[in-house]
Amino acid sequence: MAISQKLHTKLVQKLILTPSLQQAIKLLPMSTLELSELLNQEMVENPLLEEVPTEELQPVDAAQEKQEEKPAQDKTDTWDDQDYEYFFGDYLDDGYKAHTPTEVKELPPIENTLSTSASLSDHLLWQLSMQTDDATIREIGEAIIGNLDDDGQLVATVEELAAMGPWPIEHVEQALKLVQSFDPIGIAARDLQECLLLQLRRTNEDPIAEKIITEHMRLLQNHQVPELARKMGMSIDDLKQHIELIRHLDPKPGSRYNPSQSQYVIPDVYIVKVEEQYVAVLNEEGLPQLRISPVYRRLLDKSAENSDETRAYVKDKFRSALWLIKSVEQRQKTIHKVATSIITFQREFLDHGIEYLRPLVLRDVANDIGMHESTVSRVVTNKYMHTPQGVFEMKYFFHSGIASAYGEAVSSVTIKQRIRKIIEQEDPRKPLSDSKIVSILQREGLELARRTIAKYREELKIPTSNQRKVLY
């Protein structure tokens, strides 16, 4: 058979996303800060995009009053009077600018005047420089300090440290002993046991507490106090003071020099109560208000003396700018719709708190606003809502539900909150087991398995009943 080329027509259905739709989908999951950065970058790359001046965003009445307050002579100012200092003001000396009003210099922002606390590494290196003049010991000490984690624990072995130099193991152990004598006490320990022993030997001479840490650390961690008392040959009352001494030691001595940075959240939506209704208000502070530049738009006029190449370039940029403005507007409308729908479903939460949070899934909101679930999922990503009950991520309002004996579904978040309160109110000497918590919830009309309670308790980072038990 001869190989030949032929043309065939075939009818096929395909789902193709237009560039404008792709852009709109891309903008949906962005936070307000990410969107602001994108818009500023687009204004740099696209000359047809410009930010609406602040004066034009003012109410008409205020703008008119401002215009009327201008002196008449301002309208007759020459170019030299208006713009000379604007363009060349930075290069004029004080003598030349004597006719201008006294300039009020802007002070640096308060963030630039705040002092930063010394890190754990800086604190230890300073002590190292003060404690030894031996260059080798100082070099090994710097390697040890460089291998400490945020809690101050040494994450490298003596052999690994010796191989870094190479240094003799004896010198490494000498340097390690020096660093372990620094403040905070317990620093550069290789495990929890060594950390506690370093603190115990520096602060209190208690051979019984030292023996508990050295030989019976597992029993102490598991709160097996009766077994520990039997092993030590002591009564629980006599053992109490030694356990309390160990309990007041710091297992993470380096954490005080590495405090976690506060994460500040700027809400994307504010829920405001107007009379008896809640209203969603978008936070557009920091977002530039865009428009098409009228100067560049005139270049599209065919009557103007512009080349076809110029008009094609401006036309392409005009289309891109228009798509972006429409995509941003569509994004804001979609976020407002989703927020309004959440208000409708979670009205009782807004009034009374977490205990009244009702089960909600993406499908419920999608059906309510007439959009696809994937769109709602993109909207609630990286978005936060400011509500009368606090600031929450929009995803927080979507949880599965568990049917109660009264026919109403209860949110899993509400159940977790109830479990937390039950445990907070228990007797520390007789903590409630997971089975007992199941029985309490059953009397309240909630049918849950014991493994479900255990899972929720672990998510709340609450230890087991044995670990919560207090014997004295």
Q: What is the pLDDT of residues 56-74, one digit of tens each?
A: 655 544 444 444 444 444 4
Q: In what order do the strands lie in the sheet with 390-393?
A: 277-282, 269-274, 384-387, 390-393
Specify whether 147 is located in the same domain as 213: yes
Q: What is the pLDDT of residues 317-354, one digit of tens each?
A: 888 888 888 888 989 999 999 999 999 999 988 988 88
Q: Among 376, 397, 418, which residue terminates a domain? A: 397
Greater confidence (77 vs 8) lies with: 8
**From 38-52, 227-241, 291-305, the region with the lowest mean pLDDT:** 291-305
| CATH code assigned at 416 | 1.10.10.60
Tell me what the mean pLDDT of segment 353-372 comes to: 88
- What is the band of 205 on the pLDDT scale with cuts at 50, 70, 90? confident
Mean pLDDT of the chain: 80
Greater confidence (287 vs 99) lies with: 287
Residue 305 has pLDDT above 70, yes or no: no
Specify whether 338 is located in the same domain as 299: yes
Whether residue 328 is contained in a domain is answered as yes
Specify whether 309 is located in the same domain as 344: yes
Specify whether 221 is located in the same domain as 132: yes
Greater confidence (242 vs 258) lies with: 242
pTM over 0.75: no
Tell me what the mean pLDDT of segment 384-393 comes to: 91
Tell me what the mean pLDDT of segment 1-14 comes to: 79
Residue 55 has pLDDT above 80, yes or no: no
Specify whether 444 is located in the same domain as 390: no
Specify whether 405 is located in the same domain as 349: no
Whether residue 281 is contained in a domain is answered as yes
How far apart CA 400 and CA 379 sit, in angstroms, is: 19
Q: Among 224, 257, 290, which residue terminates a domain? A: 257
What per-residue confidence (pLDDT) applies to 13? 80
C-alpha closest to that of 116 among 255, 254, 259: 259
**From 309-313, 326-330, 458-462, the region with the lowest mean pLDDT:** 309-313
Specify whether 125 is located in the same domain as 249: yes
Whether residue 93 is contained in a domain is answered as no
Specify whether 253 is located in the same domain as 276: no
How far apart CA 39 and CA 201 sit, in angstroms, is: 60
* Structure tokens belonging to residue 238: 């006599």
User: Tokens 């009379």 belong to which residue?
Assistant: 275
Give the whole-number percent of the chain exceeding pLDDT 70. 80
Q: Among 345, 366, 397, which residue terminates a domain? A: 397
What per-residue confidence (pLDDT) applies to 414? 83
Entry field: residues in the chain: 472
Specify whether 290 is located in the same domain as 384: yes
Tell me what the mean pLDDT of segment 368-377 comes to: 90
Q: What is the pLDDT of residues 117-159, one digit of tens each?
A: 678 888 899 999 888 888 899 999 999 999 998 888 999 898 9
Q: What is the pLDDT of residues 394-416, one digit of tens each?
A: 988 888 777 666 556 677 888 88
Whether residue 242 is contained in a domain is answered as yes
How far apart CA 215 and CA 223 sit, in angstroms, is: 15
Whether residue 24 is contained in a domain is answered as no
Write out the residue range of the structural domain in which residue 128 sits: 120-257
Tell me what the mean pLDDT of segment 16-22 comes to: 71
What per-residue confidence (pLDDT) applies to 101? 45
What per-residue confidence (pLDDT) applies to 308? 74
Tell me what the mean pLDDT of segment 357-373 comes to: 89
How far apart CA 434 and CA 464 sit, in angstroms, is: 8
Whether residue 90 is contained in a domain is answered as no
Specify whether 218 is located in the same domain as 343: no
Specify whether 136 is located in the same domain as 246: yes
Give the whole-number percent of the chain exceeding pLDDT 90. 13
What per-residue confidence (pLDDT) applies to 88? 38
What per-residue confidence (pLDDT) applies to 92? 37
- What is the band of 262 on the pLDDT scale with cuts at 50, 70, 90? low
Tell me what the mean pLDDT of segment 155-181 comes to: 90
Whether residue 161 is contained in a domain is answered as yes
Looking at the structure of the chain, the number of domains it has is 3
Whether residue 63 is contained in a domain is answered as no
- What is the band of 466 on the pLDDT scale with cuts at 50, 70, 90? confident
**From 47-56, 69-78, 350-359, the region with the lowest mean pLDDT:** 69-78
Specify whether 353 is located in the same domain as 373: yes
Residue 26 has pLDDT above 80, yes or no: yes
What per-residue confidence (pLDDT) applies to 71? 46
**From 23-37, 281-295, 405-419, 434-448, the region with the lowest mean pLDDT:** 405-419
